[in-house]
Amino acid sequence: MPKLTIAQNILAANDTYAAGIRQALAPRHIFSINFMSSPGAGKTALLERTIERLGGQLQIGVIEGDVETSADAERIEAAGASETVQINTRGNCHLEAHMVQAALDQLDLDRVELLIIENIGNLICPNAWDLGEDLRVVITSTTEGDDKPSKYPQMFADAQVVVINKIDLLPYVDYDLEKARRQVLALNPQVRFFEVSCRTGAGLVEWCDWLADFARREVTSGSKELQR
């Protein structure tokens, strides 16, 4: 019981920080996304391709989460992000709202319309931590196997968008695309799917067009309501 109480207190403190993040971003009409996936699913590659395609339309700020190194933040800066800041957790398996709050203090929010938080590669821990985001996107890939939604159900149940990456490898891997989709839909019937390849560009136009339209609509209306 004491352990449960401690866990509840930690999450309650996190939720307070998350509420503060929303209060900071809402008046500026900054829309925020929490990118989550297992390691190697292609979060950073998808983020690079997204920035390259939308950088001329939206000012995109990125908070990069990693256990160590600034390699991904350097990739994102090279892709053309308006603002980038790196968080190194030094072993923590997820980002927490107080980390994001501290990172916001290092960003020029006047140069940000869309804020993307790239979480630590992990399909378990990040799901429990509200980062003050408006939208949760889970990226999964054909190289991971089609059983990830059934093995890690809460991650997929709580997402508003699921991106299936590396579809160019479908001829070479044992991955049943429809099986994966069925598993996700059984958990989350309202989820929005995108199937992409960051290497060939397949599906990226559809993903980026939807994201740009959605972000603009949210920035304009301030409604923060997902239109599926």
Distance CA 104, CA 44 (A): 20
Q: What is the pLDDT of residues 49-99, one digit of tens each?
A: 999 999 889 999 999 999 999 999 999 999 999 999 999 998 889 999 999
**What is the C-alpha to C-alpha distance for residues 160 and 190, in angstroms, rounded to an integer?**
7
Q: Domain residues of the chain, as ranges?
A: 2-221
Q: Are 132 and 97 in contact (CB under 8 A)?
A: yes
Give the model's pLDDT for residue 58.
Answer: 92
Please tell me the predicted confidence (pLDDT) of residue 215: 85
Neighbours of 164 (CB within 10 A): 25
- Residue 228: the pLDDT is 33
One DSSP character per residue, 1-18 reads: -HHHHHHHHHHHHHHHHH
Domain at 2-221, CATH homologous superfamily: P-loop containing nucleotide triphosphate hydrolases (3.40.50.300)
Positions in the chain whose pLDDT score sits under 50: 1-2, 224-228
Question: pTM of the predicted model, to two decimals?
Answer: 0.90
Q: Are 116 and 46 in contact (CB under 8 A)?
A: no
* pLDDT value for 226: 43
Q: Quick one: the chain helix, strand, coil %, rounded to 5?
A: 50, 20, 35
